[in-house]
Amino acid sequence: MPADVPDPDRVLAPLAGHEQLLLAVSGGPDSMALMLLAARWSLRETKRIAVATVDHGLRAEAAEEAALVGEWAQALGLPHHILRWEGEKPRTRIQERARTARYRLLAECARATGATAIVTAHHADDQAETILFRLARGSGIAGLAGMAPASRLDGLALLRPLLGLRKQALEALCEAAGQPFFRDPSNENPAYARARLRRLSTLLEQQGLSVDALLRLGARAARAEEALADAARAAAAALPAERGEGLFRVAAAPVAALPRELLRRVVAAEIERIGGSTARLERQERACDRLHEALAAGLSFKATLGGAEIALTTDTLTIRPEPPRRQGAARRP
C-alpha cells in the first residue's frame, strides 16, 4: 500500500473491540472513505459491519443519493439501511436539530441491528472547524478539546477513527479507488455559521489560525480537561460529604478551600446526579461564582440549577432536588 494511502488496520484499530459496527455514511468523500477502509480492513470477515444513511428530507435529491449509497455499499459487500427523518421539519436551528435527529436514528438502527458501536467519518479538518466554532462562542476547556475519538451515545459507543486524517487524504483515497461521492451544498450555504467560518479559513490561516494550530489547541485543551476532571474527582472523593439519593451535604469549610474551577465541577457533578440534568456552562459559572463569594464571606446562599437546589448556611452546603413550584409562582406581576 502506498505510504500516502491510509492503512485500514492502523486507522480502524479503535474499532477492533466491537463485533458489530454501524457506519454512518452520507455519501460525502469522508464517509465514503470510511466505507472503503472498512471494506479493506483485515478484520472485516470477523466482524458484522453495516452501513446507514440518513435521509433528512431537506433536499429533493437526498432520497436518490441515499439509494445510490446503498448500491455502493452493496458493491463492497456491506448491508445498507436508509433512515428517514419523518414529520414536519423545524424552521429554526435546522442544522442542530437535524444533527440530533440523525444521531437518534443511528442509535435506533444500531440497537435494531445489534451493533454496539456507531462509527462516524469526522476527520481532522472537522475537528479544527469544531474547535474554531466553539472558540468563537467562548467555550470552556472541554469544548475547546473538540470531538473525542470515543464517546457514548444512548448507551452505545460513538467512535471517530478518522480524526487524525486530513480531508484531502480521504478524498484522495476515494479518487484512487475510483469511488464516486457527493458534495452537500449546505456545507457552502452562508446561512449557516460553520459555512461562514469556512469562508474565512484563508484569512484566519494568514493570522495563524491554521488547521494545525487549531488541532494543537484542541490537543492541549484535551490534556488540560483530563487533568482538571481527574483533580475534580479526587477533590470530590476527599470531601467528608454525606451522599444519598437526592442529597449532598458537606461542611462549608472544606468546600471553601477548593479552587473555583474545582468547586464548579464538584457542584455540577452533584447537580447532575441529583437534579438529573446538566446546566449550561455559563449558568454553572454564574451560580458557582456567587457560591464562592458567599463561602469566602461566610454568608448564606441559595440558588436552583439543573433541577437541583443549592443551599449554603454559615457552616453547611446542601444540594437536593429542586422543590416543586407552586402554581403561578413563576409568573411576575
Within this chain, domains 8-217 and 239-321 share the same CATH topology: no
Distance CA 88, CA 98 (A): 12
The model's pLDDT over 40-88, given as tens digits with 9 standing for 90+, comes to 999 999 999 999 999 998 888 999 999 999 999 999 999 999 999 998 8
pLDDT for residue 173? 96
pLDDT for residue 188? 64
pLDDT for residue 327? 46
Distance CA 79, CA 63 (A): 17
Which of these ranges, 63-72, 126-135, 172-181, 187-196, has the smallest mean pLDDT? 187-196
Q: Which CATH number fits domain 8-217: 3.40.50.2300, 3.40.50.620, 3.40.140.10, 3.40.50.20?
A: 3.40.50.620
**198-211: average pLDDT:** 81
For residue 248, pLDDT beyond 80: yes
Distance CA 173, CA 40 (A): 12
For residue 199, pLDDT beyond 80: no
pLDDT for residue 326? 54
Confidence of residue 331 (pLDDT cuts 50, 70, 90): very low
Q: Which three cell numbers stand for residue 146?
A: 473538540
List the chain domain ranges: 8-217, 239-321
239-321 under CATH 3.40.50, yes or no? no
Distance CA 101, CA 33 (A): 23
Q: Which three cell numbers stand for residue 69?
A: 449509497
Distance CA 304, CA 310 (A): 6
Q: Which positions ≥6 away from 147 have C-beta within 8 Å?
A: 122, 126, 127, 130, 160, 163
Distance CA 266, CA 250 (A): 12
Give the neighbor-by-neighbor strand order of the sheet with 156-159.
80-84, 48-55, 20-24, 117-119, 156-159, 150-153
Confidence of residue 211 (pLDDT cuts 50, 70, 90): very high
Percentage of the chain lying above the pLDDT 70 cut: 93
Q: How many CB atoms lie within 10 A of CB 136?
A: 12
pLDDT for residue 190? 64
pLDDT for residue 325? 72
